[in-house]
Amino acid sequence: MKAAVLHETGPPEVLRLEDVPDPEPGEGEVLVQVEAAGVNRFDLNQRAGAASSFPLILGGDAAGTRADTGERVLVTRGKGSNAELMAVPETSVYALPAGVEATTAASLPVPYTTAWWALVDQAELEPGQTLLVQGGSSSTGQACIDLARARGATVYATARESAWGRLKELGAEALAYDDPRLAELQANVVFDPIGARTFAQSVGALGQDGRLVTPGAVGDPNVSFNVWALLGKRARIQGIGSAPAPRETVEHLLELVAGGELHPWVERELPLGDAAEAHRLIEANEVLGRVVLRP
* Each residue's pLDDT tens digit, 236-290: 999 998 889 899 999 999 999 999 999 999 999 999 999 999 999 999 989 988 9
What integer best gives the mean pLDDT of the chain? 96
pLDDT, tens digit (0-9, with 9 covering 90-100), for 185-206: 999 999 999 999 999 999 999 9
For CATH 3.40.50.720, list the domain ranges present in the chain: 111-239
For CATH 3.90.180.10, list the domain ranges present in the chain: 2-107+265-294
CATH of domain 111-239: 3.40.50.720
Tell me the C-alpha distance between 57 and 37, whole Å: 12
CATH entry, 2-107+265-294, from 3.90.180.10, 3.40.50.300, 3.40.640.10, 3.40.50.150: 3.90.180.10
pLDDT, tens digit (0-9, with 9 covering 90-100), for 143-158: 999 999 999 999 999 9
Q: Do 61 and 78 contact (CB within 8 A), yes or no?
A: yes
Report pTM. 0.95
Per-residue pLDDT band at 85 (split at 50, 70, 90): very high
